[in-house]
Amino acid sequence: MSLYGMMRTGVSGMNAQANRLSAVADNIANSDTTGYKRSSAEFSSLIMPNTGGAYNSGGVTTTIRSAVSTQGVMTYTTSVSDLAVNGDGFFVVQDAGGTPYLTRAGSFVADAQGRLVNAAGYQLMAYDYANGDPAATANGFEGLVPVQISDQEMTAAPSTEGTFSGNLPAGATPPAGPLPSSNSATAEYTSKTSLVAYDNLGNKKLLDVYFTNTGAGTWEASVFDQSKATAGTSFPYTGGALGSANLTFDTTTGKLTGATTGISFTVPGGSALNLDLSKLTQLGTGFTVADAKVNGNAPSSIQKVQIGQDGVIYAQFEDGSTKALYKIPLADVQSPDNLTAMPGNVYVQSTDSGAVHIGFANEGKLGSIVSGALENSNVDIAEELTNMIAAQRSYTANSKVFQTGSDLMDVLVNLKR
């Protein structure tokens, strides 16, 4: 064994323990950092080839690993914008330059522009509902936009769809007069109800909905603009019916069986609306309204925001109505522990982690999103202090090896004197 090799091995050991202590120091410093994942120094031996009867000491190399896949304990808060992932997955965020990253740090707050930004300054990304129900881009970040919610602007949404469920009396008989769809002054009907819809400017539009029996198991459904009704009565309505449909029920089960299951019409001053009537029944009782819903809202500002476990961000307006604004996706990789850690408690993919795949919460192996909660660091202080003591002793022992080699080197040098 060469004395130089012995000293080199001691230096290798000290350097390895120094790396271990550095990881411990980082872990302890970030023990209260939201979403932080502890790092650890993994050792592997470095073997030198031996020749003859001589032993050539090698050394030790270190690899820093992060326990990214280990879940931290969740702490619940009173802020809706505090988010945590319960299970696998990462939030997608971006920096000021628009570069996307992955993170588990969900301590988001609104900035001056209404964007949700975490403690490190990264903006939360999601899919917008502006163009309908969003679909995740599985192999890229395209389509994601910063979540931006402002309560300073008033918004109005026109009605585009609705549902109506209830019961039509099975014992009804066709009226003697004309049907409502004829818009005759003498029109007769079996049952009537009204619905509220909204035009493009958020104005309320009252709609009269008539159900008229036309025979065994057959009914006519007609919708009129209430503001166009004749004063003191109903028929005729100026402009006639907005829309009509013929419904057919199974006289044995009382369920809707025909191809027509709703009415499509245009709200006055608004958009096309499809009123779903598929849950209507014809049973042996009176006319009953079980449920009636029409989307859209009057001009109002956002009162509060709600976030579901599926990642959908809802805005609740002054009138109590809600509207889906964004859907937060979750990203994942094949080997999360091999992601490359970056400043600000964020990660990027590496050659060992695999490519980033994006989906929605509760799909596949992705976890759920918890609003009003934060994921704590997964650092165990007691374990880190134990590792620190062990690393300190190992460092001291390796320094003794180096010191002994140095002393022997002095003896060797002094032999010539």
pLDDT tens-digit series, residues 92-106: 999 999 999 999 999
Q: Is the pLDDT of residue 278 over 90?
A: yes
Q: Provide the mean pLDDT of the chain.
A: 91
Same domain for 224 and 309:
no
- Cα separation, 288 vs 172, whole angstroms: 13
pLDDT of residue 321: 74
Cis peptide bond N-terminal to 236, omega within 30: yes
Q: Is the pLDDT of residue 204 over 60?
A: yes
pLDDT of residue 290: 95
What sign does the dihedral 256-261-265-270 (CA atoms) show? positive
Same domain for 279 and 174:
yes
Taking residues 189-215, report their average pLDDT. Answer: 95
Of 269, 299, 329, which residue sits at a domain end?
299
Q: Which residues pair with 304 in a beta bridge?
A: 316
b (16+ CB within 10 A) / e for 10-22: bbbbbbbbebbbe
User: pLDDT per residue over 53-67, tens digit each?
Assistant: 677 777 888 888 889
Between strands 109-110 and 116-117, the pairing is antiparallel
Q: CA torsion angle for 187, 193, 194, 195 (degrees, to 10)?
A: -130
Taking residues 355-382, report their average pLDDT. Answer: 93
pLDDT of residue 373: 95
pLDDT of residue 222: 97
For residue 349, which amino acid is it?
A: Q
Q: CA torsion angle for 318, 77, 69, 32 (degrees, to 10)?
A: 140
- Cα separation, 191 vs 211, whole angstroms: 5
Same domain for 309 and 409:
no
For residue 252, which amino acid is it?
A: T
Q: Count CA atoms closer than 13 A to 31's CA, side-chain side.
A: 11
pLDDT of residue 152: 58
Q: Is the pLDDT of residue 171 over 80?
A: yes
Comparing CA positions, the residue from 332, 359, 360 lying closest to residue 347 is 332
Taking residues 5-18, report their average pLDDT. Answer: 86
Q: Count CA atoms closer than 13 A to 334's CA, side-chain side.
A: 6
Same domain for 124 and 32:
no
Q: How many CB atoms sit inside 10 A of residue 131's CB?
A: 8
Same domain for 23 and 7:
yes
Same domain for 249 and 360:
no
Same domain for 274 and 357:
no
Q: Count CA atoms closer than 13 A to 344's CA, side-chain side.
A: 19
Res. 153 pLDDT band, cuts 50 70 90: low
Q: In the chain, how many domains are there? A: 3
Q: For residue 159, give every residue at least 6 positions away whose Cβ sits within 8 Å of its Cβ, in sequence order, or none.
A: 197, 198, 199, 205, 267, 270, 271, 273, 294, 295, 296
Q: Which of 59-73, 211-225, 368-382, 401-415 has the lowest mean pLDDT?
A: 401-415
Comparing CA positions, the residue from 278, 86, 255, 246 lying closest to residue 181 is 246
pLDDT of residue 141: 92
Of 240, 275, 299, which residue sits at a domain end?
299
Same domain for 316 and 278:
no
Highest mean pLDDT, choosing among 110-119, 159-168, 292-301, 405-414: 159-168
Same domain for 286 and 174:
yes
**Secondary structure (3-state) at 131:** coil
First to last CA, the chain: 23
237 alpha carbon, distance to own chain's centre = 47
What CATH number has the domain bearing residue 199?
2.60.98.20
Q: Is the pLDDT of residue 393 over 80?
A: yes
Range of the structural domain that residue 8 is part of: 3-67+378-414
Q: Which of 22-36, 125-139, 150-164 has the lowest mean pLDDT?
A: 150-164
* E strand map for 47-181: 59-66, 74-76, 83-86, 91-94, 100-103, 109-110, 116-117, 123-128, 145-146, 155-157, 161-169
Q: Which of 92-101, 146-155, 197-206 has the lowest mean pLDDT?
A: 146-155
Asked whether the beta carbons of 288 and 175 are under 8 A apart, the reply is no
Same domain for 222 and 274:
yes
How far apart, in Å, are the Cα atoms of 142 and each of 38, 84, 101, 126, 145?
Answer: 31, 23, 13, 10, 9
Q: Give the pair of three-digit tokens for residue 280.
A: 């209507």
What sign does the dihedral 225-231-234-240 (CA atoms) show? negative
Taking residues 336-348, report their average pLDDT. Answer: 92
The position carrying tokens 């090896």 is 401
Q: Is the pLDDT of residue 282 over 90?
A: yes
Of 244, 276, 299, which residue sits at a domain end?
299
Same domain for 334 and 323:
yes
How far apart, in Å, are the Cα atoms of 314 and each of 15, 174, 272, 320, 348?
Answer: 53, 45, 23, 12, 29
Comparing CA positions, the residue from 325, 266, 296, 273 lying closest to residue 203 is 296
Same domain for 292 and 349:
no
